[in-house]
Structure 1
């Protein structure tokens, strides 16, 4: 069947495309074949509904997919071949995979009754489908089987049950190829859709206090810009600073989706938090033009700034929030317990000489915790706006430079 598809592909495809063969001995291998192909294909065409359904249930279809239809002319041809077999009465047979409505329609076209035709639409394991046909045959309810699964046909033949495989016609193969090529072309166009990402840093948006040196903000902006450029180069995107606290990243839907696990994770946020100790707000927008994409990105950013949604930071080109289904069942959210004020209070009580600058080591000694735990607590203070990360000290010694934080103890008096 795969060979037939490959031979017909170049003449049947409506757009230029490259066909990749993925033959298998058993339909159960279909999901593994799709996984191995990975993102190297734009659309999948399955030889029948059975491998398509198995791959769909396995959750490996991340691209458009379709299958060769076995109803219509393919089913009529199988019924005709069954009528030529002296052992089979086509009015008393069992049929798998093909939908009941398609079966009734084919029998009406042939002017045959279908009241004694038994069907099973579910594409289950080969053993289960084989048992369905054998049981009806042993009971004397049917005289043979019409099967869409080659493995079932082989087992029925070995068991002495008359079986006729349902094979797709050349027209069905051409139609399926046409559909798959169009799905792939549309998928490529959608992946190339213009996408804008707005990144804002709340820490840089806050007004500058007299006690805060300006140089650390300037160096922090440079460090953040450098990090965003590195991330953008990795996904073939571009970066522009738009004001003193925001940046604009322009790419394609495909490149941004790859960096966000299919719009499930905010882009750049984890690395910015780990390396600079900053919390960022992100909005992603798509559109037919750059202006439309940026407008949608600002709308998504306003939604995330409200702090009410952990997902939905991306908006499609129609202006609808893009919230992909979670990979795992969601768990009830634990009640929020602010810890920043408590940690800041404990640190402020042990500060000496009015110095409000600490690092992980000194903070760990004040809190009686390890430097690793202190570093995590200091990042919590940054996320809650209770501390500012200062530019890392540049030292000739190898290793990570010491990260300093300025505690905003003024907020304890509010």
Structure 2
């Protein structure tokens, strides 16, 4: 990714006598500030980005669009010395009285020391900036007579100064630096691919489905819940190109790759499946993610991560890498949450939950019982229960088949978990 002439040079070098073992995609720009847009356009079509200099790399990094490994061709050392050599061969220029942008002071002083020149009259601007700002820096010094030539690492800045009549020498990367950067980029891309294809095991545990001596749920209700949960997990796993298997009555095992899990968890910042299961089914689930060199090792790490999340009650640290260490992503500023409208069915759900009182088993009602508790007719209660279903606050259970004629009795499971911990307990 760079100006047209340099991109062409890199492409030809990549397919030369000793080609780099990779597929090169050309992304040329006119202005270094277009680098971020070029990265977005390439998207997931590349494994690594190689920039022509530190400048477009900085623009892309600051824009936050680098979702893949990236590197750049260095312009210090031999590249800067080459520019100084071209300046010394032109009798109009004095290599000791120049202005240089982008490069650091230590890099410039080292290059000058190696050729025996001082830097007392060398003017530097180390910070990256737009081409107009850098061009103004060089032009101001030249018009004051403080410099004899401007040396720039930015293609668009060089074009502006040449149009303004300012003597300009471009700091261009050497062939050796390009070849070395291509090899580095190929290694970064290969490592990234290996890391993205690493096996990941996700364990999903459903506390509500665990049988206890004090809580024995009806068989049909458990089966209905397991089918609904399995359907949601399959839909989410399909988006991750993953597979789902039930382990026992209250847990599931999901196998995927690190790349697919990373994208669905925002870089291991949020556990997968949790939000959708809570929104659609009103269930709280626990998740542990493990990686490993073998499937057995990955599953063991997933179980250890699940135990950690259950004991600490934290969403952070729900994943362990292949060495068994917690994957704690870099902190980020949480987005400002917008106030959500309170569903109108919550009041109805709270009234029904208060009437039914504390029970170990799930709260199940029909239209007649709900009508008596709410003081309305069965027809109105049936409509209110349908409202709860539409808002995700109740499930319609399979109707009881009886030999008596007439409409079969329709039961609804109230999802009191959506009222909050104090109401659901």
Q: Is the shorter-chain TM-score for this pair beyond 0.5, marking a shared fold?
A: yes
Q: How does 1:22-171 map to 2 (within 5 A)?
A: 22-171=27-176
Residues in 2 aligned to 1:393 and 1:7: alpha-carbon distance in whole angstroms: 68
In structure 1, the residue matched to 2:225 is 220
Partner of 1:114: helix, strand, or coil? Answer: coil
- Structure 1: gaps of 5 or more residues: 333-341, 380-388, 396-400
Query: Normalising by structure 1, what TM-score?
Result: 0.82
In structure 2, the residue matched to 1:304 is 309
Partner of 1:322: helix, strand, or coil? Answer: coil
User: Does 1:404 find its partner at 2:418?
Assistant: no
Match of 1:189 among 185, 194, 215: 194
Q: 1:307-358 CA distances to partner (integer Å, 9 max, x unpaired)?
A: 54233322222323223235535779xxxxxxxxx99874344359x99424
Shift of 1:223: 2.9
Shift of 1:108: 1.4
- Structure 2: gaps of 5 or more residues: 1-5, 338-346, 377-383, 401-409
Shift of 1:218: 2.4
Shift of 1:367: 11
| CA-atom RMSD in angstroms | 3.7
8 Å contact from structure 2 (residues 271, 315) kept in 1:
no
Q: 1:293–1:77: structure 2 CA closer, same or farther, 3 Å change rule?
A: same
Q: How does 1:283-302 map to 2 (within 5 A)?
A: 283-302=288-307
Q: 1:152-196 CA distances to partner (integer Å, 9 max, x unpaired)?
A: 112222222211001111111111111101000000000011111
Residues in 2 aligned to 1:391 and 1:376: alpha-carbon distance in whole angstroms: 10
8 Å contact from structure 2 (residues 280, 392) kept in 1:
no
8 Å contact from structure 2 (residues 363, 413) kept in 1:
no
Residues in 1 aligned to 2:151 and 2:21: alpha-carbon distance in whole angstroms: 36
8 Å contact from structure 1 (residues 235, 256) kept in 2:
yes
Q: 1:210–1:185: structure 2 CA closer, same or farther, 3 Å change rule?
A: closer
Residues in 2 aligned to 1:182 and 1:207: alpha-carbon distance in whole angstroms: 53
8 Å contact from structure 1 (residues 360, 378) kept in 2:
no
Shift of 1:68: 0.8
The number of equivalent residue pairs is: 389
Residues in 1 aligned to 2:108 and 2:324: alpha-carbon distance in whole angstroms: 42
Residues in 2 aligned to 1:372 and 1:277: alpha-carbon distance in whole angstroms: 16
User: Does 1:178 find its partner at 2:183?
Assistant: yes
8 Å contact from structure 2 (residues 201, 290) kept in 1:
yes
Q: How does 1:221-370 map to 2 (within 5 A)?
A: 221-306=226-311, 308-329=313-334, 346-351=351-356, 356-358=363-365, 366=374
Partner of 2:151: helix, strand, or coil? Answer: strand
Query: Normalising by structure 2, what TM-score?
Result: 0.80
Shift of 1:232: 2.4
Residues in 2 aligned to 1:27 and 1:114: alpha-carbon distance in whole angstroms: 28
Detail structure 1 runs of 4+ shifted over 4 Å in the superposition. Answer: 11-15, 208-211, 329-332, 342-346, 359-363, 365-368, 370-379
Partner of 1:52: helix, strand, or coil? Answer: helix
Q: 1:13–1:58: structure 2 CA closer, same or farther, 3 Å change rule?
A: farther
8 Å contact from structure 1 (residues 130, 155) kept in 2:
yes
8 Å contact from structure 2 (residues 292, 298) kept in 1:
yes
8 Å contact from structure 1 (residues 45, 177) kept in 2:
yes
Q: 1:287–1:102: structure 2 CA closer, same or farther, 3 Å change rule?
A: same
